[in-house]
């Protein structure tokens, strides 16, 4: 039985039997795998703390003939969202987004088919989070690049209707999944993407995620991109992600919380 070692991102786990877990992970060089982590649910298991979604780790596993499940020898965390949460952003939103990133990669990663660019995107995102990059621009960056790597991001070079520039911003019309310029946008508008949001995308197309703190993105443009990206993701996956519903619930909770003011 050949043993493989690789860098990998943990995507999700689920229970198996009394004491084990099945781990879904994206390897750098051999695509997405599912493996058994023996005894992972026992106290003091060697897998404790290593199987959180979006943990980047060194893994060793062996493949058994005619079986889909590999057997995992070890998972050695190198960069973990738990570390990020301890150092920087402990918010529910940051941790909710970690689940969201993992679910998106899981949905898009083909089984056992190497996709090193997707792996690199995921690894760079979790490293940026660990180094303190704020979660909102990081999430917009991740969605933008994920959709680009899949070849489904709408063109930003010129309006597909008139060939003109997006100098006044863009709009994604209702039931369409491309950007048109504001002159070609229908009166109902659809999802507006402002000049500031487009500026962020252009800068993001040239930068690594750890450069995001120097690329401005206010709350308004971030919302616009979030809405446009959610529409693109839903139409291409043909469903809504579980983690998106979690993020929405967190948003509602945050809105209900009384705000602290300077006078109080």
- Pick the binder of Zn ion from 106, 107, 127, 161 (CB under 5 A): 161
* Sheet with strand 180-181: strands edge to edge: 180-181, 170-172, 191-193
For residue 26, give every residue at least 6 positions away whose Cβ sits within 8 Å of its Cβ, in sequence order, or none. 8, 9, 11, 32, 33, 105, 106, 109, 115, 118, 119, 122
Site mask, Zn ion, residues 168-207, x = CB under 5 A?
Answer: -------------x--x-----------------------
Rounded to a whole number of angstroms, the minimum distance from the CB of residue 185 to Zn ion is 8
Is residue 156 a contact residue for Zn ion (CB under 5 A)? no
For residue 209, give every residue at least 6 positions away whose Cβ sits within 8 Å of its Cβ, in sequence order, or none. 124, 125, 127, 128, 133, 138, 141, 142
Please state the length of the chain: 264
Residue whose CB is less far from Zn ion, 47 or 179: 179
Residue whose CB is less far from Zn ion, 8 or 181: 181
Stretch that binds Zn ion, among 10-18, 84-92, 117-125, 157-165 (CB under 5 A): 157-165
Stretch that binds Zn ion, among 27-35, 48-56, 158-166, 190-198 (CB under 5 A): 158-166
Rounded to a whole number of angstroms, the minimum distance from the CB of residue 31 to Zn ion is 40
Q: How far apart, in whole angstroms, are the C-alpha atoms of residue 217 and residue 178?
A: 22
Interstrand relation of 170-172 and 70-79 (parallel, antiparallel or unpaired): unpaired
Is residue 10 a contact residue for Zn ion (CB under 5 A)? no
Rounded to a whole number of angstroms, the minimum distance from the CB of residue 183 to Zn ion is 5
Confirm if 259 and 200 have CB atoms less than 8 A apart: no
Summarize as ranges the residues that interact with Zn ion (CB under 5 A). 159, 161-162, 164, 181, 184
């Amino acid at each position: 039985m050949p043993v493989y070692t690789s860098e990998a991102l943990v995507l999700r786990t689920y229970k198996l039997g009394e004491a084990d877990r099945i781990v879904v992970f994206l390897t750098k060089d051999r695509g997405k795998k599912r493996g058994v982590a023996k005894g992972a649910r026992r106290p003091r298991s060697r897998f404790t703390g290593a199987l959180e979604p979006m943990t980047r780790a060194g893994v060793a596993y062996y493949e058994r003939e005619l079986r889909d499940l590999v057997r995992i020898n070890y998972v050695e965390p190198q960069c973990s969202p738990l570390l990020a949460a301890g150092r920087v952003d402990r918010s529910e939103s940051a941790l909710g987004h970690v689940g969201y990133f993992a679910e998106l990669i899981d949905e898009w990663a083909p089984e056992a088919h190497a996709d090193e660019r997707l792996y690199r995107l995921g690894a760079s995102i979790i490293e940026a989070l660990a180094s303190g990059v704020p979660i909102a621009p990081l999430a917009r960056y991740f969605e933008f690049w994920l959709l680009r790597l899949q070849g489904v991001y709408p063109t930003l070079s010129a309006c597909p209707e008139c060939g003109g520039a997006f100098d006044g911003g863009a709009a994604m019309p209702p039931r369409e999944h491309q950007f048109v310029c504001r002159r070609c946008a229908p009166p109902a508008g659809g999802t507006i993407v402002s000049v500031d949001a487009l500026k962020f995308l252009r800068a993001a197309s040239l930068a690594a995620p750890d450069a995001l703190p120097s690329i401005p993105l206010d709350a308004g443009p971030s919302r616009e991109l979030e809405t446009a990206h959610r529409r693109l993701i839903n139409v291409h996956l043909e469903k809504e992600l579980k983690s998106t519903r979690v993020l929405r619930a967190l948003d509602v909770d945050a809105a209900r919380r009384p705000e602290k003011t300077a006078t109080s």
